Structure 1
Amino acid sequence: MCTASFTSGRLTVSSLQEEALSADVSAPIDLLEGRYYEEVQVGQRFIAPAVTITESMITTACGLFQDLALLHRDHRIAAENGFRGPIAPGALTMGACIAPLALIIGKKTATHLTDEITYRAPVYAGDTLDIEIVAVRREEKSRFGLIEYATHVTNQDGQKVADILTKMGHAYAPKGSA
């Protein structure tokens, strides 16, 4: 099992540390290189960089998605509905939390099939979201390998804010490359 995490702006990859220490540090690293189907195993965990949601992000998301709900912009309306302040639109939360899949699949994508999300708690401006992605199922298809990822999202207080199940199609490694 490989565990990768970002801490204080530094990437920590436990199973790859020795290889990284001996690597040519002058060579650029393509973060979107990604992994072929054969390179991801069930149970493999990925810790994505934390994302802090800002008021500006909420405002931009409301405009971009034409989300006119006052719950996202009006402190009084949010308070009247039991929230401590305006909450982030669900589309913003989901987008911020599934975007790290690009670092896993990268250029080796075949297709992004589905996302199922369950919101567990509101996300507010100032919340920092910690994102853990786990490969939970693999299935070989004719043109690509299907991998299901469970994404677990918590805020800075450790409160679970969302769970996402994503199905992605990974390209197979070229024949003879394994």
Structure 2
Amino acid sequence: MAGKYFEELELGWTIEHDIKKTVTETDNVLFSALTLNLAPLHIDAHYAAETEFGKPLVNSLYTLGLVCGISVADTTLGTTVANLGFGKITFPAPVFAGDTVNVETTVVAHRESRSRQDSGIVTFSHTGKNQDGVVVCECERAALMSKSHK
């Protein structure tokens, strides 16, 4: 599996993910439509032109999903049992169509599961930045991770 097992995800382990994604207008409009978030700030260019941003903002939940998704191949692909939840989530700066998002992940908590001997709980801190190095999303995500069976 590409993902890491519980034992491999040591406290303080940090990775800068190789995958990057340039966000498109279609990504934003499709995600907004699929989730029924029809806020004009996301999907109406004429409306958004009159705001302080001057153009549509990418839906923040898309940004959150993208930041976590970029991390999956290097962290939890095939080794996670379940996503347990999210802690602190912030969006310090907006994302616009044309921005390229890159992500860094750090293991900030690591403990044995009390109820499952074959699993452990890992908390990841994900930081998404745009092409200029500006932080656009920070979040903590807890996952129930499989132990290797070596």
- TM-score, normalised relative to structure 1: 0.76
> Which blocks of at least 5 consecutive residues in structure 1 are unaligned?
1-31
Structure 1 position 75, deviation (Å): 2.5
* Structure 1 counterpart of 2:86: 115
Number of residues of Structure 1 aligned to a counterpart in Structure 2: 144
Alignment of 1:35 with 2:1, yes or no, is no
Q: Which has the larger radius of gyration?
A: 1
Secondary structure of the corresponding residue to residue 85 of structure 1: coil
CA distance in 1, matches of 2:2, 2:100: 27
Aligned pairs for 1:1-178 within 5 A: 32-48=1-17, 49-103=19-73, 104-116=75-87, 117-141=89-113, 142-143=115-116, 144-174=119-149, 177=150
CA distance in 1, matches of 2:134, 2:59: 18
**Contact preservation (8 Å) 2:20, 2:70:** no
**Contact preservation (8 Å) 2:23, 2:100:** yes
Identity, % of aligned positions: 30
2:80 partner letter: T
- TM-score, normalised relative to structure 2: 0.89
> Which blocks of at least 5 consecutive residues in structure 2 are unaligned?
none
